Amino acid sequence: MKKKIIAVSIIAVLAAVCLIPVTREQSIPIKASFFDTYRQLDKAENWKKWRNDLREASRADSSRVTDTKDSSGFIIRSGSQVIQVTREGGYFFRVDEGEDTFGYAVFPGKLPNQCTLVITEKPKLIRFLLAKIAGGDQTAHMHIGDLKHFMETPDLYYGYAIRKIKVTDTNILVLRRLVPAKDKFNDAAAMLHELKQYLTKNNLEQTQPVMAQFLPSGKDSAQVNIGIPVNKKAVSTGSFTYMSMPATGYFYAVNFKGIFSGREKAYAAVYQYFKDRGLQVPLLPVENYLDNKLPVNDTSRINIRISFATFK
């Protein structure tokens, strides 16, 4: 009888011990600014960008992932999945998701484009031990890898692949004209035709896709600049201007496919990329029309590379 009582007591003690919470804390360096990383955690709509499961669910059905605000944070729902995020002062976020409860805290790094994410969790001892035995990534349910990868991958964070490339168009023939804004596409087509005629008359060959700038000028006007890269140096004459780009120069470039009026999103992404890195844009960006076709209206589908010159 006593042995049974002792055995039961031991089992009861072990069961109680297994239910004791164990504090687990880990620091993860992130190569991104404190402010940008904090903003991803602070806004519900950003969770749909950096968390892989939410992003995939949203892509499959944008109405599937919803969020609502409450007095201390927000709640994200994706099907039967419920994620409650609570701001608990300072830079700390508590996350309650099913049986999991954990915390994120963001701290500034020594450099502007560095920060540290500290994750905390208090799993019960039995769960902690079972996870240790099973091995693998014990923080997968906290999606830390998703956040780190998102913040350190410009293609994901900015929504576009931004690349530093060498200058390829070293000899360019340019035609510039201030035109009524309503006629900018028709005038651009006419200017391109004039440039091609000039190339034929002067034994020049086009070497790269046509280049263009459509720049607002005042309320009702637009500055239209059309350029054609050519195979050799030319002479500026009349309204035709020859430009030379240094072969050792570089551009930051982003590709965009979509309707002409929607390209501003790509511009905004690169300007934010420059701002985050303290880069300057000394010259106005140039659009390279990769299929060699200019738009005919604001809804024309285009395939362009936007090139941004920089001093760095």
Same structural domain, 30 and 105: yes
In the chain, the number of structural domains is: 2
Q: Centre a 10 Å sphere on the Cβ of residue 38 and count the other Cβ atoms it contains.
A: 19
* CA 310 centroid distance within chain: 20
Same structural domain, 173 and 121: no
| Six-digit token string for 237 | 């004459």
Q: Which residue has the tokens 């805290």?
A: 105
Same structural domain, 303 and 169: yes
User: Which of these, 127, 109, 129, lies nearest to 29 by C-alpha position?
Assistant: 109
Domain of 61, CATH number, reads 3.30.530.20
Q: Centre a 10 Å sphere on the Cβ of residue 308 and count the other Cβ atoms it contains.
A: 23
Domain of 305, CATH number, reads 3.20.80.10
Q: Which pLDDT score is estimated for 127?
A: 52
Contact between 204 and 233 (Cβ < 8 Å): no
Same structural domain, 198 and 65: no
Range of the domain at 301: 164-309
Same structural domain, 261 and 135: no
Same structural domain, 88 and 49: yes
* In a domain? residue 242: yes
Q: Which pLDDT score is estimated for 76?
A: 96
Q: Which pLDDT score is estimated for 198?
A: 94
Tell me if residue 179 falls in helix, strand or coil.
Answer: strand
Q: What is the pLDDT along the chain (312 residues), one digit of tens a residue?
A: 555 555 444 444 444 444 445 567 889 999 998 999 999 999 999 999 999 999 999 988 888 899 999 889 999 999 899 999 999 877 899 999 988 889 999 999 988 889 999 998 875 444 544 455 555 555 778 899 999 999 999 889 998 999 988 877 678 999 999 999 999 999 999 999 999 999 999 999 999 999 999 999 988 999 999 999 999 988 888 899 998 877 767 889 999 999 999 999 999 999 888 887 778 776 789 999 999 999 999 999 999 999 988 766
* In a domain? residue 2: no
Contact between 287 and 304 (Cβ < 8 Å): yes
Q: What is the pTM of this model?
A: 0.70
Same structural domain, 274 and 301: yes
Q: Could you tell me the sign of the dihedral formed by the alpha carbons of 133, 134, 138, 141, in that order?
A: negative
The whole-angstrom separation of Cα 173 and Cα 245 is 11
The whole-angstrom separation of Cα 140 and Cα 212 is 47
Q: Centre a 10 Å sphere on the Cβ of residue 202 and count the other Cβ atoms it contains.
A: 14
Same structural domain, 188 and 268: yes
Same structural domain, 133 and 226: no
